[in-house]
A and B are shown apart, each in its own frame.
Chain A
């Protein structure tokens, strides 16, 4: 086979991969066809890899095989992490993806220098800068999610100035390299500055903003891949990178909207250090607390129950007890649904996975808008480990830092029950007036234990009948 024919065959194989990738995402539109989507993606990937191995001027296979074996050995355990650890796994895979794109860009630079055109240098510099900052940014995000790094936003005076200076210096190095290819030692400087900027970018961002950050890093990782496609003239990389970048961007926008914040606010305005004055006023108000027996009684009398889970439910490992509660109530003819806020959990859609893992049917998982329209008909709203996303101050109090954030309107249900360890304010440190309403019952205790108690009460009630 001559070289041109071989190249055509390879390109044709890549086209098939691209089509399969697009179909793969297309089939993700519903849970019913989603697994077919994964299959399509896998086949597309296999075709791309085999086509490359067969015909791309590869001379030695040894190192490729070593790389593939090591990659497989890392990838398999990363495919089997617990669902609660999926966010940090995802952040780590953004880092790996960006690392691979950055390293290829770096290698292209050293192989081709000093014969790189000005235009080619722009592409390589952009690609390597974005790839490198995504590597360190994602590693910091993964560290925060894994809680090996402090979750609180770490801030100091003049932070944004320092961060942007580092980024500017990196870009400036790239520009100099473009006009003066004779300074190759500036290239590693550019890489190091970009790596540094990634650290500076994510360190000040608090744990509550992780869903947005992780989506944004997803978008950067995709962009780095697409840019690499420009550098190498590889269409399959451009398409895959554009799809990934678009996906990350869409998710970032959804997350920002769900928190009523802008990108700049997430990136440059550290959250979680607001509110000192209001706490004093809050302490004078009284709350009503209740026992598991009371809660069981109220639930038995209900015909419509909405459960609003937050990340606290997953931290307490309460989802399987919640599933028992769901079963026992459903068995008694009570309609139970779940209201899932877009930012519940640590990454987009995380709460749905946690509930699905506990075998709760997905048609019972309602999005915020749908559950809000049903809330006035709900007899009981049961909140487990969620706080800010149920805070009515977001609707009513313009002075609240979360004012304007879309929330689940649990206060419109007839009775509100909140399972919570104590009255301490949540992640963002914001007081929640919901707890002081007349219709609200506070159920103080560990989520898993308390739900277990309710289930036991309900079970006993059942035996007596």
Chain B
């Protein structure tokens, strides 16, 4: 088994643990924004897509990479916008008086 794989596995397992701990504490009120936020964070795959699109290793790689950049970046943009919009709707009883 390659050494890189072992390191990656460590990172994966530890990140998974952190994920379970942190996300287990997210208020149930916010589960929809949670899903759109994790979606947006997951869009960091755009980083890999940009490398594929920009290295010019083959024209297939450039085409697939460009589509991947568009798909993942749309998630980043859309995900952050909608999460922020939804969170803006949550107001506590104290702050509201009309």
Contacts and interface: CB of A to CB of B under 8 A. Distances in A.
Contacts of A350: 32
Contact of B72 (A90, A100, A241): A100
Interface in B40-98: 40-58, 60-62, 64-94, 96
A26 B23 CA distance: 7
B83 to A, nearest CB: 5
B42 A28 contact: no
B12 A57 contact: no
Contacts of B88: 35
A349 B90 contact: no
Contact of B66 (A67, A230, A353, A361): A67
Contacts of B29: 31, 349, 352, 356, 362, 365
Contact of A64 (B41, B50, B81): B50
B14 to A, nearest CB: 8
Given A71-B71, A78-B82, A347-B32, A31 B64 contact: no
A104 B92 contact: no
B78 A79 contact: yes
A239 B8 CA distance: 10
A58 B55 contact: yes
A364 interface: yes
Contacts, number: 368
Contacts of B69: 63-64, 67-68, 71, 100
Given A28-B26, A107-B52, A238-B12, A45 B92 contact: no
Q: Is the interface of B mostly helix, strand, loop or mixed?
A: helix
Contacts of B65: 63, 67, 103-104, 107
Nearest to A35: B87
Q: Is the interface of A mostly helix, strand, loop or mixed?
A: helix
Nearest to A26: B22
Contact of B51 (A17, A57, A215): A57
Contacts of A41: 37, 40-41, 80
> Range of interface residues on chain A?
35 or more
Given A59-B56, A104-B65, A247-B34, A78 B78 contact: yes
Interface string A353-372: 10011010111110100000
A237 interface: yes
B47 A81 contact: no
A112 B86 CA distance: 43
A243 B85 CA distance: 22
The interface centre, meaning the residue of A48, A76, A80 with most chain B CB atoms within 10 A of its CB, is A48
The interface centre, meaning the residue of B40, B61, B65, B78 with most chain A CB atoms within 10 A of its CB, is B78
Interface of B: 1-2, 4-5, 8, 11-12, 15-16, 18-20, 22-58, 60-62, 64-94, 96
Nearest 7 interchain pairs by C-beta:
A79-B81, A67-B69, A71-B73, A349-B31, A246-B19, A75-B77, A58-B54
5 contacts: A38-B83, A67-B67, A74-B70, A104-B48, A111-B61
